[in-house]
Structure 1
């Protein structure tokens, strides 16, 4: 299986396991800058060279050799499951993608037909009942994860622990897991632990939110989207994420972690 979703700087200064919807665009650009002294011109997900990615055949041997021998510092980044699934809904379901079309072609029409979801459109300013539609989307996300119907789960709403675990199961070990909510502190701890060809000043790094501005803005506080049933669904889907990455299941309005991540626990529980 190898190391899907793994990126590595050309200099092999650092290895990063991508978790979608967890600051991956910004992290990728920081890695690119740390090697080349400039940002990638465009969405870092579109880069084809100057950074190793598992999805590039020519990078796989180098990534595999590095990770199996733990030659470089390895990290990943996680996010509160409530805000992550909300972000996935607004970006992937409601938003217009970089190519000017809806995400995954027939996915949104399927959701409208089978789950009664509304997504609005740019012509009417994305006017629709966000809370009702999001809760229906949650039912769909649960169905994809529990029963792989009406389709396999998408990487943007499948569990973070699932993404994180492939790296461990196939022989990798993390040195750090960063919270999106404490991004500067976490990313600084990564930079402090590695040597990069170009110095990185986090205070000067812009946020590369490639999903922003092409869909509706969230109209309500996070907690308004989650009633008892939707909290139950979120827990059913993301129980491990709450427990391992120390997020507050009881209060959707609290996006901050409530404990310290235990790397030994994560390697033990996700390494099966």
Structure 2
């Protein structure tokens, strides 16, 4: 199994377990900058040099030795499940991807056919009923996670605890887990704990939102997308995420966590 979704700086100053839709583009660029004093030109997910990634065969033995020996500071980042699944919908389902095509080829046609979802298109300014379509997408996301039908769950909407647990189960240990909603504060803790070849000034770091600008803008407040049934579905999918990372299930309008993350509890519950 190893350590899927794990990135490490070339200097081995720090190790990061990627959780999709949780500021991963910005975190990857901060890591890249901390080694090279410049940002990667393009989407950091496309980088094949300058950063060790588990998906690159040559990086695997280095990452494995580091993580199993806990030689470097290790961290990850989480996000409110309500805003995360909404972001996945607008980016992956409604948006046009970097290659100019729809995400995963036949996925959107399948959703239109089986779940009656509309996604709009750039020609009509992405005009469609966002709330109705999103709630139908939620049913699809639940079906993929609960029954693995009509396809396996996608990394962008599978639970954060699932991503985070593989690192623990295979022998890793986190030194820090922070909230996307308190990004600067959280990444500063990481930077303060490590020695980097290049100094990082967080005030000068732009946000790398690679999903922005290629799909419709969210037309309503977060809470408008979630009625009682939608909240029930979200809880069914993300119960563990709400509990472990202390997000507010009762109020979709509150994106901020209700408490701090207990690392010992995360390791105990996700290491089983």
TM-score (norm. length: structure 2): 1.00
1:104 is aligned to: 104
Give deviations 1:171-215, integer Å, cap 9, x for gaps: 000000010000000000000000000000111000000000000
Q: Distance in 2 between matches of 1:265 and 1:151?
A: 32
Once the two structures are superposed, the pairs formed by residues 8-157 of structure 1 within 5 Å of their partners are 8-157=8-157
SS at match of 2:146: helix
Q: Which 5+ residue runs of structure 2 have no aligned equivalent?
A: none
SS at match of 2:74: strand
Q: Distance in 1 between matches of 2:235 and 2:28?
A: 29
Runs of 4+ in 1 over 2 A off after TM superposition: none
Give deviations 1:46-86, integer Å, cap 9, x for gaps: 00011100000000000000000000000000000000000
SS at match of 1:206: coil
1:173 is aligned to: 173
1:218 is aligned to: 218
* 2:264 pairs with 1:239: no
Q: Distance in 1 between matches of 2:157 and 2:189?
A: 27
Give deviations 1:26-45, integer Å, cap 9, x for gaps: 00000000000000000000
Number of residue pairs matched by the alignment: 272
Q: Distance in 1 between matches of 2:145 and 2:51?
A: 31
SS at match of 1:49: coil
CA drift of 1:116 comes to: 0.2
1:265 is aligned to: 265
2:161 is aligned to: 161
Q: Distance in 2 between matches of 1:81 and 1:202?
A: 26
1:256 is aligned to: 256
TM-score (norm. length: structure 1): 1.00
CA drift of 1:96 comes to: 0.1
Q: Distance in 1 between matches of 2:22 and 2:257?
A: 14
